[in-house]
Amino acid sequence: MEYKQLGSSELKVSRLSLGGMSFHTEAQAQPIIYQALDLGINYFDTADLYDKGENEQIIGKLLKDRRQDVILATKVGNQWRKDGSGWDWNPSKDYIKTAVKQSLKRLQTDYIDLYQLHGGTIDDPIDETIEAFEELCQEGCVRYYGISSIRHNVIRAYVQRSNIVSNMMQYSLLDRRPEEFALDHLAEHQVGVLVRGGIAKGFLASKEPRAYLGHELETIHEVQALLDQNLVSPQQRGHLALAYCWQHPAVTSIVVGASSVEQLQQNAEAIRYQPLSAAVYQQLRLQAPLWQYEKHR
């Protein structure tokens, strides 16, 4: 496994990381998390939103004995309603400082390595939100903080006004919107990018495609064929798709989900396929679809 410094922090993150959103039981998560550790993965991502906090509880329990060896990341900002009917966006200082206590308890730890704002708009009380994260860092229960956003105006505001070390964002050959602005801007300001959706819900691997982010099936098939031109077998399609994301210097790690040990192992094999040759990378850049993020500019 390879490791890279996350932005301006002192965290050295594995180039492939594990997202826990799909874990619903301890029995399901245990073999996958233990295999991730064996593969050298040290970054584990969750959120208080997932399964109303049960996801944090599962991950915290399974990683408790390896706490010093791993980087625990979770998110805040989506507050479940008391009746459980859904959640509301709440980036207030009071909520963040209350929610972190519950996350720490569920994760069975005294500190969170990376605490992330789970969304955000330009109409939020951004300075108040930043103040909450800064105070948590000063208090020692959070080491570093970041955001999770693809919105240009939100990214720009946090880069200018805060000490974020990371931004999690969707990025793949079927969603190249970050290339227009975000990736270069974040790299310039030493903010590490944590990629999610690198294989587009499996459509850039072996999963039978359906409409995705407005793309028709024809477009997805074209991108699959483009990947296949550079592979020995279609089974390696997802590896090349992930390697494309790794190629940008802003990208610190790709966070993948896994429903089985085998799926995690397959994703881990992608490490061998990066970096891409300049010719292959340029071919993908020229021929894969590219469009802009129209809102929140």
Directed axis angle between helix 26-39 and helix 54-63, to 10°?
50
The active-site residue out of 43, 50, 115, 273 is 50
| Integer Rg of the chain from CA | 19
Among 266, 205, 271, 215, smallest CA distance to 241 is for 205
Q: Is 95 noted as a catalytic residue in this protein?
A: no
Among 83, 89, 19, 8, smallest CA distance to 47 is for 19
**Which amino acid, residue 194?**
L
Q: 76 pairs with which residues across the strands?
A: 117
Catalytically active residues, by annotation: 50
